[in-house]
Amino acid sequence: MTLVLIIEDEAQLARAMQINLRAHGYQAITAGFGADGLKMAAQHPVDIVVLDLGLPDMDGVDVIRGIRGWSSVPVIVLSARHASEDKVDALDAGADDYVTKPFGLDELLARLRAASRRSPAQREAPTVETADFVVDLAARKVVRDGHEIRLTPTEWNILELLVRNAGKLVSQQQLLTQVWGQAYAKETQYLRVYLAQLRRKLEQDPAKPRHLHTEAGMGYRFDP
Ligand code: CA
């Protein structure tokens, strides 16, 4: 089933979309703030994002940039704003499609169908194997020698974001805003603490990590 994440601060509209999408065979989850939306996009196997550009805590265009930092999930932007600059900004930031409010349900459903045709394999959550452990993104667990390694939800969220970006630098700010939220963008000491915990649990030699690398002052990188 196609999982749609609706990021929309107008609660009635979000609820109406959720009910209607469910009635049309979609799974739908909602977030009322941009920071929550980013977190949910990182935590759930989302197939399509429907994003309102006018959110209370952050500009929708920044939400697109945040998602595009690590995901190619289709993003359909909703906006009451008619200015073409907003549309251009959103598309430049990586939005796939654009619906102007007010819109009819039929129009939204048509855009969703088009978006799901463009992302056939989006939902397959892979298993990532390293020499030391296996990360099962679908089951949300880590296994070594047949035994599950217990992670806290925060440890898992960090690991998942790094694993989904395997081989790429994930910035400190991206980790902090997507795992903890926008208000925590500068709390880099959290990352040091949690990465040390993850290395103790996952690395053969936590002092010489093979998989969870620090790029000093920049961020972190996962190598399988
Ligand atoms: Ca709004």
Read off the pLDDT of each residue in 164-193 and give the average, rounded to a whole number: 88
Q: How far is the CA of 54 from the centre of ligand 1 (A)?
A: 4
Cite the beta strand spans of 32-133 per DSSP E: 48-52, 75-79, 97-100, 127-129
Q: Place 26 in a pLDDT band, splitting at 50, 70 and 90.
A: very high
**pLDDT score recorded for residue 119:** 61
> Rounded CA gap, 218 and 188, in Å?
10
Span from the CA of 19 to the centroid of ligand 1 (angstroms)? 19
Q: How far is the CA of 80 from the centre of ligand 1 (A)?
A: 8
DSSP state of 157: H
State yes or no: pLDDT of 123 exceeds 60.
no
pTM of the model: 0.59
Task: Calculate mean pLDDT across residues 185-199.
Answer: 94
Residue 83 confidence class, pLDDT cut points 50, 70, 90: low
Q: Return the percentage of the chain with pLDDT > 90, whole number.
A: 58
Pick 152 or 72 by higher pLDDT: 152
Mean pLDDT of 20-36: 95
29-38, 58-67, 83-92, 136-145, range with the lowest pLDDT: 83-92
User: 209-215 long-range CB contacts below 8 Å, 24 or more apart?
Assistant: 210/130, 210/131, 210/132, 211/130, 211/132, 212/162, 215/169
CA of 37 to the centre of ligand 1 (A): 13
- Cα 188 to ligand 1 centroid, rounded to whole Å: 30
**Residue 122: its pLDDT value, please?**
47
Rounded to 10°, the helix 34-43/153-164 angle is 80
Q: What is the pLDDT of residue 168?
A: 84
Q: Give me Rg for the CA atoms of the chain.
A: 18
What's the confidence (pLDDT) of residue 137? 80
Domains, in order of start, for the chain: 3-117 (3.40.50.2300), 127-222 (1.10.10.10)
